[in-house]
A and B are shown apart, each in its own frame.
Chain A
Amino acid sequence: MKALANAFKENLVKAVHVAEKDAKIYFFKWPNITFGLLLPAIIYLAFSVGRTTEVALTMPGLVAMAALFGAGAIESVALPLERAKGTFERLLVAPISLTTIVIGKALAGFFFGMVLSIGYVLIILPFSGAAVANPFLFAFGILLSAFTFSALGVCISAPFRDIPEAMPPATLLRVAMVFLGGVLIPVTAMPNFLQIVAHFLPLTYAVDMLQQAITGPTVVQAFLVDTMALILFSIVFFALGVLVLERTLD
Chain B
Amino acid sequence: MKVVVKAQSLTKRYGKILAVDHVDLEVFEREIFGLLGPNGAGKTTTIRMLTGQTKPTSGTATIAGYGIIHESIKAKQQMGVVPEVSNIYDEMSAWDNLIFAAQLYSVPKIEREKRAKELLELFGLYERRKDRVASFSRGMKRRLTIAAALIHKPDILFLDEPTTGLDVQSSRMIRNLIKELNDGGVTIFLTTHYIEEADQLCQRVAIINQGRIVMVDNPEKLKASMEERHIIEISFSPSRDLNDKLKGLSCVNDVSRLGDKFRLYVDDASEVILSLVDFARKNSLKIISINTLKPSLEDAFVKLTGLSPEVMTAEKEPIKKREE
A residues engaging B (CB < 8 A)? Answer: 10, 13-14, 17, 21, 24-25, 85-87, 89-97, 249-250
Contact = CB atoms under 8 A, between A and B. Distances in A.
A14 B103 contact: yes
B83 A21 contact: no
Interface string B94-130: 0010001101111000000000000000000000000
A87 B89 contact: yes
B76 A25 contact: no
Contacts of B148: 90
A218 B187 CA distance: 64
B104 A91 contact: yes
30 contacts: A13-B103, A13-B106, A14-B103, A14-B106, A21-B89, A21-B92, A21-B100, A24-B91, A24-B92, A85-B87, A85-B90, A86-B85, A87-B89, A90-B88, A90-B89, A90-B101, A93-B51, A93-B52, A93-B53, A93-B76, A93-B83, A94-B76, A95-B72, A95-B76, A95-B106, A96-B76, A97-B72, A249-B54, A250-B14, A250-B55
B18 interface: no
Interface in B173-223: none
B89 A25 contact: yes
Contacts of A96: 73, 76, 104
B283 to A, nearest CB: 54
B96 A24 contact: yes
A94 B83 contact: no
A25 B54 contact: no
Contacts of A92: 52-53
Given A94-B104, A95-B104, A249-B54, A25 B77 contact: no
A244 B195 CA distance: 40
Contacts of A87: 87-89
A244 to B, nearest CB: 15
Contacts of B77: 95
Given A14-B103, A94-B105, A96-B76, 14 more contacts: A13-B103, A21-B89, A85-B90, A86-B87, A87-B89, A90-B87, A90-B88, A92-B53, A93-B52, A95-B74, A96-B104, A97-B72, A97-B73, A249-B54
Contacts of A94: 76, 101, 104-105
Contacts of B104: 14, 17, 90-91, 94-96
B232 interface: no
A35 to B, nearest CB: 18
B64 interface: no
B10 interface: no
B319 to A, nearest CB: 12
Contacts of A89: 53, 83, 87
A250 B73 contact: no
B87 A95 contact: no
Nearest to A21: B100
A197 to B, nearest CB: 37
Q: Which of B79, B81, B92, B103 has the most CB of A within 10 A?
A: B103
A85 B83 CA distance: 12
A86 B74 CA distance: 23
A86 B81 CA distance: 13
A93 B81 contact: yes
Contacts of B96: 24
Contacts of B91: 24-25
Q: Which of A25, A85, A92 has the most CB of B within 10 A?
A: A92
